[in-house]
Amino acid sequence: MRIANLTALEAGKRIKTGEMSVAEAVSSTLDAIETQDSELNAFITVPDREALLARAEKVQKDIEKGVLTSPLAGVPIGIKDNICTRGLLTTCASRMLYNFTPPYTATAVDRLEKAGMIVAGKTNMDEFAMGSTSETSFFGPVKNPWDVNRVPGGSSGGSAAAVAAGEIFASLGSDTGGSIRQPASHCGVTGFKPTYGTVSRHGLVAYASSMDQIGPIAQDVADCAAIMDLIKGKDPLNATSLDLPGTNYLAGLIGEIRGKRIGLPQACLGDNVDADVKREIGKAAETFQRLGAEIEPISFPFLSYMIPAYYALAWAEASSNLARFDGVKYGYRAQGAGTLETLYRNTRGEGFGSEVIKRVLLGTFVLSSGHYDTYYKKAMQVRALIKQQFDDIFEKYDAILCPTTPYTAPLLGESASDPSKSYLSHIFTASVNLAGLPALSLPCGFDDKGMPVGAQLIGTRLADGAVLNLGFAFQSVTDYHKRLPGEGRKEETA
């Protein structure tokens, strides 16, 4: 049975019962990558097969001894290439870090490995997580396995495409304004952005530190919950991480949602949303009603202000965070620079791609004297209003249901001709990061071209388990998450 037919938990169960060895899981993963990735370009770095098989042998023995008891022990996983891995390249899909091998491992990855999961490769992405299509990578664009002429979404496009294509059981991504949820939507898989602080950011190369969050991408909600159980919790190396004693997301998937109140923002179903997406979100709302939830229309008063505020703040933080890449300590270094200033200028001009340069320049402008109050301070005020408006909504409702993106996956190259459309693709996701809330994207249907449509569930702060349970209930009665690329609307059920 090929990987595409197994969830991460199913693979873990087979390993535990002896139906499949860890070495077989690793070998099948590497075989799938070798067979498909020359076309998809979902991975940047894949470890040596012998080294992974040696790791598999050790994990197998620890499982048999009862040392490793996680339901995901022995399961291979992909890691987005902006999450540090000791001894394994971490490039952020940039020329700037083309040769950077970290001396340490990110806390989230370390926790996965201690539970027995096996890092099978580093996935491709938008350079420094700046993009919505996974086309800005120094190593070339990622292709969508549902249609290789289309983008997988970004910036965690490689992580989502690899899961959708069956190259890997699950993966980690990072989400600054929708970078887990948007590619999950475009690739027909499940992606979860946790409450800010739920997962340590130690080892995540920063884009916008007040919004960045590591989270899982997998075939279904149960896999996401199981991964969250491994990576969540307080980390002394990250001051913003949260202590979550007694939290068990997988055990909380009971599927009972009767009486839950779900708000459906009418502004998210307006003229700027494709008709196919509106149709499938409407059907998803009907499914939740049949499961016993109450669906009510609500207003989203801050929607028109969200994109300007998000980009002003994200780019400002990016300008500060990327200042460290100067050619002095590590990574790319320009040759022939006669002065230190020339070294900085040439290294950054040659090492960064055009999208990163544009965002750093605009972020520097936003923070500059004479413009700080006009842009950055105003955006911070809008952010506070957005948080308050979410609080007001969640006083009455348990969750919000809306599209993950306003349209399905665009064609490769389309965003370059209309960058404003690419920026607006985060219109339903970025507010979640501004407010630090949990949100889940799950497949809910297909457009008339057979491309996946994603529904987004948003919850209040620290309601991660409740959001995951809503998604679990939906997937218990639908099969969109089980479809493989090429099946599309075939025998559609809801």
Q: List, as one string, the DSSP characters of 117-180.
A: -EEEEEE--SGGG--SSS---TT----BTTBTTB---SSSHHHHHHHHTTS-SEEEEEESSSTT
319 classed as catalytic: no
Look up residue 303 and give its amino acid: L
How many residues are given for the chain?
A: 494
The distance of Cα 120 from the centroid of its chain, to the nearest Å, equals: 18
H or E segment at 264? strand 261-265
Instruction: Please name which of 401, 394, 411 lies closest in space to residue 444, comparing C-alpha atoms.
Output: 401
SS3 111: helix
- On whether the CB atoms of residues 43 and 78 are closer than 8 A, the answer is yes
Catalytic residue among 171, 179, 319, 425: 179
38 classed as catalytic: no
- Calculate the alpha carbon distances from 476 to 103, 117, 241, 256 in Å: 43, 26, 32, 10
SS3 236: coil
Tokens of 66: 């009862």
H or E segment at 216? strand 213-218
Q: What is the CA angle 266-263-480, rounded to 5?
A: 90
Catalytic residue among 80, 143, 193, 232: 80
- On whether the CB atoms of residues 310 and 296 are closer than 8 A, the answer is no
Catalytic residue among 28, 132, 155, 200: 155
155 classed as catalytic: yes
Question: How many Cα atoms are found within 13 Å in the side-chain-facing hemisphere of 142?
Answer: 37
The residues near 220 (Cβ < 8 Å, ≥ 6 apart) are 7, 190, 475, 481, 482
- What whole-number distance in Å separates Cα of residue 104 and Cα of residue 86? 5
Look up residue 297 and give its amino acid: P
Instruction: Please name which of 320, 460, 440 lies closest in space to residue 390, comparing C-alpha atoms.
Output: 460
- On whether the CB atoms of residues 216 and 223 are closer than 8 A, the answer is yes
Residue 155, preceding peptide bond in cis (omega within 30° of 0): yes
Give the number of other CB atoms < 10 A from CB of residue 234.
Answer: 12
Rg (CA), the chain: 21
- What whole-number distance in Å separates Cα of residue 460 and Cα of residue 113? 30
- On whether the CB atoms of residues 428 and 403 are closer than 8 A, the answer is yes
What are the residue numbers of the active site?
80, 155, 179
